[in-house]
Chain A
């Protein structure tokens, strides 16, 4: 569980004697370490809800917990992943402690005849598994998974669970899609990917159980991979989060730096109002009236890399762009690969994100000959196209990975862009660790930027907004 004692919820309470309550608290603790906000009131609700349902019904138990603890789809996904893992581990830990094993005394390692008295042949097993998958019989699937593992034998196992699962599946000749007819010549309905995954999950679980029994210890539980759940695989789902972060950014960009500007620059005298005011003093302009200082609209230029090296992140970036367009009137956006192409119109005329993404990929007009980014050329084109309009009140945001594919980065042109623009931020979809490795030339550009950020989750985006709001002074 979470090794960090510095939890916002304070030090962990003494769980008291073992039992369901302690287990549940442990489970909530694990959820918190994965970033699900489980408050005390949620835990109280969970206990109250559990009093109302039958604990022996697994589905009810899980749904009751989920309804009280996981309060968004995102949370629900994490909940499902952790629920499976946590209670599986809890049961296994108990088994190790009490030295209960499922394999018989005789069924040791290297003994292929572990389960049945005779070794099942693969064809027979395959037929049975297909039957069980078709019927959706979970218990039977579990038994068959054990049989398959026994038949496959420990000797051939690689020791890596994921590899073994795939190896067993391939040996069995199970594939998703249309199935060959049965031995009697009857047709079989096709097996879809989900059903097959279910069987694989059983295999994985049984293999893990085997491993735990052999080593008599639980492997350390790892935090869920950040990328697994954080990168928006379904952009519409996370669109709301992106929009929220961007609307925050809007407020902050709009107000930032006004005071500085106001104090620095001399105000203009408003002649008309001064004359008007002078009437009070008999036509002598005693009090000077100044022209009111209008808050200026931020002008934003966004450059977004859509090349193949950032494929996974570009959906996320496009959703950021989409959200930006919702919030800012004066925003011009460009996408680039080898050359640059303005897509402001696409965003302004189309509200639906999916359509936008599709139109940009089809008619973005990015001269995409090689699919490799040419940053040097992009700066050059951007500068010629925009140079007249760039001024100290404009903000330039670059979304890209700074991988030049060995081409000249032309940092000096980038420097010119930086010099003309008021502020320049760079959001990089790669973790900071990878910057400047390989063909990444982040360092060359970094010194001209007012800020560089790694940005591949909405959390990073919020961080970016916070830093910007923290008043990173504009280098003018």
Chain B
């Protein structure tokens, strides 16, 4: 890896199919150079998770992913003692006394590693993705603090496990809950938003190179219009790529009203949204291409 400038990070990300804007590239670069975790916030579907995946591809590191949800706890995120194996060991007895057994059952052999421990203990440097951190409760955040600032985990029976290699840590949040100051203080902050028309155009062209430029431009314009509406779920970048693929399959040469209505369900996925979009955007399309 060892990218030495922002531009190189950007180029490396582009090579693996992620077009980062200036701030995203800069923060990714800083994260590697400073060894600090990155907190990425933004609306759903702007490529927060994708950024972490792209980083892993660009740096050739393995991606360790921890998907957060309500009620996620230590045992599922960090480590757990392999209780059954411990029981077996005790039952198997052996010539040693209690001290021996006790020392034995709390050793690495009986430890089940979960994503966080896995990332720390890995001999190879990894990219650790902690996805949707805002879904967990504050207690879980507090538990992460040691990991984020010192890259170590303390196991009462074993002692500290420190990272031998510096992982790149990416946390994502949909901003559904304010994260604690303590967590934010330990992270670099990156706000990702929907891309501008130009960048989205590049993204679509990169992923669906066969789509003609004029259709791609129209597609981006329509997506922008749809996002400007007050929808339950505005279309994400992944969905605009899906739509581009669909249009390609349909062999559309122009996005007119009919094509739009047929393929709309790819980008709009709520019944009420569909009505709204058909009414507001569909109408405009008809005016624009009377031949279609």
A residues sitting closer than 8 Å to B (CB atoms) are 37, 39, 41-42, 45, 48-49, 52-53, 59-60, 63-64, 66-68, 70-73, 76, 240-241, 243-244, 352, 354
Contacts and interface: CB of A to CB of B under 8 A. Distances in A.
Query: Do most interface residues of chain A lie in helix, strand or loop, or is the interface mixed?
Result: helix
Interface of B: 6, 22-23, 26-27, 29-30, 33-34, 36, 39, 41, 175-178, 181, 184-191, 230, 232
B177 A240 contact: yes
Nearest to A52: B33
A10 to B, nearest CB: 18
A195 to B, nearest CB: 13
Contact of B26 (A39, A45, A64, A244): A64
A42 B29 contact: no
A406 B59 CA distance: 70
Contact of A70 (B6, B26, B189): B189
B25 to A, nearest CB: 9
Contacts of B29: 52
Given A73-B41, A240-B178, A45 B27 contact: no
B181 A37 contact: yes
14 contacts: A41-B186, A45-B34, A53-B6, A53-B30, A59-B22, A63-B22, A67-B27, A67-B190, A71-B184, A72-B184, A240-B178, A243-B177, A244-B177, A352-B232
A63 B189 contact: no
Nearest to A241: B178
B175 A240 contact: yes
Contacts, number: 66
A72 B189 contact: yes
B117 to A, nearest CB: 26
Contacts of A59: 22
Residue from B26, B186, B187 whose CB has the most chain A CB atoms within 10 Å = B26
Contacts of B188: 45, 49, 67-68
Given A53-B6, A240-B176, A241-B178, A71 B187 contact: yes
A59 B26 CA distance: 10
A374 to B, nearest CB: 32
Given A60-B6, A72-B41, A73-B175, 11 more contacts: A37-B181, A39-B185, A41-B185, A45-B188, A52-B34, A68-B188, A70-B189, A73-B41, A76-B191, A240-B175, A354-B230
A20 to B, nearest CB: 18
Contacts of B187: 71
B22 A52 contact: no
A48 B36 CA distance: 11
A71 B177 contact: no
10 closest residue pairs by CB, A with B: A71-B184, A71-B189, A67-B188, A63-B26, A63-B23, A52-B33, A67-B27, A49-B30, A240-B178, A48-B34
Given A52-B30, A76-B191, A67 B23 contact: yes
A72 B40 CA distance: 10
A389 to B, nearest CB: 34
A41 B34 CA distance: 13
Contacts of A63: 22-23, 26-27
B184 A49 contact: no
Contact of B34 (A49, A66, A73): A49
A42 B186 CA distance: 8
A67 B184 contact: no
Contacts of A37: 181
Contacts of B191: 73, 76
